[in-house]
Amino acid sequence: MDRREFIAYGSAAAIAAGVIKTQLEEVAEAQTPSVNLELHLEEIYEEMIDGEVLFALAYRDPVTRLVRPPLFVTEAATINLKLVNKTRKPRRFTISGTIEDRFPVVAPGATKTIRFTAPAPGSYIYHENTEGAVGRLAGLYGPLVVMPSDGKTAAGVHTPYKDPTLAQSALFDALGASARFPGERWRPELAKRTRIWMFSETDPELNQRLERNVATGWTTLKSWFKPRYFSLNGLSGFDSSHDDFTCPEGYEGEPVLIRCMNAGIATHGPHIHGNHVYCLSEVNPATLTLYKCQNILEVDTWMMKPLWRKDVLLPFIKPDEIPAAAWPPKQEPFPLFYPMHCHIEMSQTAGGGSYPQGLVTHWELLGPRRGV
Ligand SMILES: [Cu+2]
């Protein structure tokens, strides 16, 4: 494979072309108690939003060719994960919030299958950690989503968690069954009702050191790392704002779960317009282990420190700035577009100043409640 092909496969074009398995298919496959997964660790070239082409690393699904593929599994499933290290350095797989050196190092050119039990239902980041954050900053990361085998509330309503808390149950029970949340329940069987927002950032200096295969300086990384690109699901600016896998869209009353994750080393503050979101799960800052919220906050900005995961629910209700008497709007045509942008402003640029080509996307309210 030549350099040009690497660039093509690493870009959003491969995702948009529909040559990959949909998330829905992956969800269906995840129902089996034992899953065999395979990830190849590769050296690739990736095009940044301003046209700059950088050396990078990535986990790749060898079948779909998708880089940094989301892995969907069911709680307590046995996962047999075959790792093929095609990079020039030893690599160790790890999962956020678990023991750092739990899995063996895979030598360059070697293949190893590791076996583990899926952790508790929730959102996780799989990544590489032989040199601290270097592996994931160069692109060796991806989302691991664990779904419950039975996530229902006492009232029989689906949630993404095992034994949902009282607050979580109250929220999910109210969706589609209250004046505040008219419409539908959250529907786990529809891929579009769940989105993943994975944040990261890139400093070309680090990528160039890796390409030249010289010392990365990883022990002092925090003192010199200066990101020039900020990404959402590996995309930035215009690309992340128009990506089918990234932008939540739907009609009024079709709530979407957004699994936010931060693979980088910068703290991010996603901020959303149109609707507020409800925080469902967070991580313990010291251990990075997940917990389900006992008290659900309604927020328009939420903090994402390195390796944090936070699930939030975007309710898809009538935006507050539109008076009830003026709903549905007649002068402003649907769809209504609302931005999500990181409120830590350095992340809104690319290449040191090109705005707004950083960590940004939008969500689309396609129309009023369907069928009523
Ligand atoms: Cu704003």
Residues 236-258: pLDDT tens digits?
999 999 999 999 999 999 999 99
Q: 198 C-alpha to center of ligand 1: Å? A: 19
Averaged pLDDT for residues 19-24:
46
Q: What is the mean pLDDT of the chain?
A: 92
Q: What is the pLDDT of residues 278-337, one digit of tens each?
A: 999 999 999 999 999 999 999 999 999 999 999 999 999 999 999 999 999 999 999 999
pLDDT at 8 over 80: no
Alpha carbon of 69 to ligand 1 centroid (Å): 29
Residue 282 CA to ligand 1 center (angstroms) comes to 23
Q: 328: cis peptide before it, omega within 30°? A: yes
State percent of the chain over pLDDT 70.
Answer: 91
pLDDT digits (tens, 9 = 90+) for 210-221: 999 999 999 999
Question: How far does the centroid of ligand 1 lie from the alpha carbon of residue 345, in Å?
Answer: 11
Residue 9, token pair as written in the block: 């496969």
Whole-number pLDDT of residue 29: 54
Using pLDDT thresholds of 50, 70 and 90, give the confidence band for residue 233. very high
Cβ atoms 76, 32 nearer than 8 A: no
Which residue has 């360059």 as its token pair?
108
Calpha distance 350→51 (Å, rounded): 10
Give the model's pLDDT for residue 17: 39
CA of 344 to the centre of ligand 1 (A): 11
The torsion angles phi and psi of 317, rounded to 5 degrees, stand at -105, 170
Q: What is the pLDDT of residue 32?
A: 56
Query: Phi-psi category of 100—alpha, beta or left, where left has phi over 0 and alpha has psi -120 to 50?
Result: alpha
pLDDT band at 12 (very low <50, low <70, confident <90, very high): very low
How many whole angstroms from 350 Cα to the centroid of ligand 1?
18
CA-based nearest residue to 201, from 239, 228, 240: 228
Distance CA 305, CA 125 (A): 13
39-54 tens-digit pLDDT: 999 999 999 999 999 9
- pLDDT for the residue 6: 40
Three-state secondary structure along the chain? CCHHHHHHHHCHHHHHCCCCCCHHHHHHHCCCCEEEEEEEEEEEEEECCCCCEEEEEEEECCCCCCECCCEEEECCCEEEEEEEECCCCCEEEEECCCCCCCCCEECCCCEEEEEEECCCCEEEEEEECCCCCHHHHCCCEEEEEEECCCCCCCCCCCCCCCCCCHHHHHHHHHCCCCCCCCCCCCCCCCHHHEEEEEEEEECHHHHHHHHHCCCCCHHHHHHHCCCCEEEECCECHHHHHCCCCCCCEECCCCCEEEEEEECCCCCECEEECCCCEEEEEEECCCCCCEEECCCCCEECECCECCCCEEEEEECCCCCCCCCHHHCCCCCCCCCEEEEEEECCHHHHCECCCECCCCCEEEEEECCCCCCC
Rounded to the nearest whole angstrom, what is the distance from the C-alpha of residue 338 to the centroid of ligand 1? 9
Cα of 336 from ligand 1 centre, angstroms: 15
Least confident piece of the model among 89-103, 122-136, 284-298: 89-103
Backbone angles phi, psi at 279, to 5 degrees: -80, 120
For residue 348, the CA-to-ligand 1 centroid distance in Å is 11
For residue 299, the CA-to-ligand 1 centroid distance in Å is 13
Query: What confidence tier does 31 reach under pLDDT thresholds 50, 70, 90?
Result: low
Q: What is the mean pLDDT of residues 134-142?
A: 98
Distance CA 315, CA 196 (A): 16
What is the pLDDT averaged over residues 55-61? 98
Of 74 and 1, the structure prediction assigns the larger pLDDT to 74
Main-chain dihedrals φ then ψ at residue 287, nearest 5 degrees:
-110, -10
| CA 244–ligand 1 middle distance (angstroms) | 21
Residue 333 CA, ligand 1 centroid: distance in Å: 21
- The pLDDT assigned to 13 comes to 39
pLDDT at 3 over 80: no
CA of 203 to the centre of ligand 1 (A): 25
pLDDT reading at 22 higher than 70: no
Tokens representing residue 90 in the block: 């030893």
Q: What's the CA-to-centroid distance between 272 and ligand 1, angstroms?
A: 6
Is residue 33 pLDDT above 90, yes or no?
no
Distance CA 229, CA 238 (A): 13
Domains and CATH numbers, the chain: 3-148 (2.60.40.420), 166-194+230-365 (2.60.40.420)
Rounded to a whole number of angstroms, the distance between the first and last alpha carbons of the chain is 53
Quote the pLDDT of residue 100. 80
Residue-level pLDDT at 99: 83
Instruction: Report the phi/psi class of residue 237: left, alpha or beta, with left for phi > 0 and alpha for psi in -120 to 50.
Output: left
What is the CA(273)–ligand 1 centre distance, in A? Answer: 6
Q: Rounded to the nearest whole angstrom, what is the distance from the C-alpha of residue 274 to the centroid of ligand 1?
A: 10
Ligand 1 centroid to Cα of residue 147, in Å, is: 32
* Cα–ligand 1 centroid distance for 343 (angstroms): 7
Cα of 241 from ligand 1 centre, angstroms: 14
- Cα–Cα dist 225/239, whole Å: 24
Residues 6+ apart with CB under 8 A from 18: none
Count of other CB atoms within 10 angstroms of residue 360: 22
pLDDT of 142-200, one tens digit each?
Answer: 999 999 999 999 999 999 999 999 999 999 999 999 999 999 999 999 999 999 999 99
CB 172 within 8 A of CB 196: no
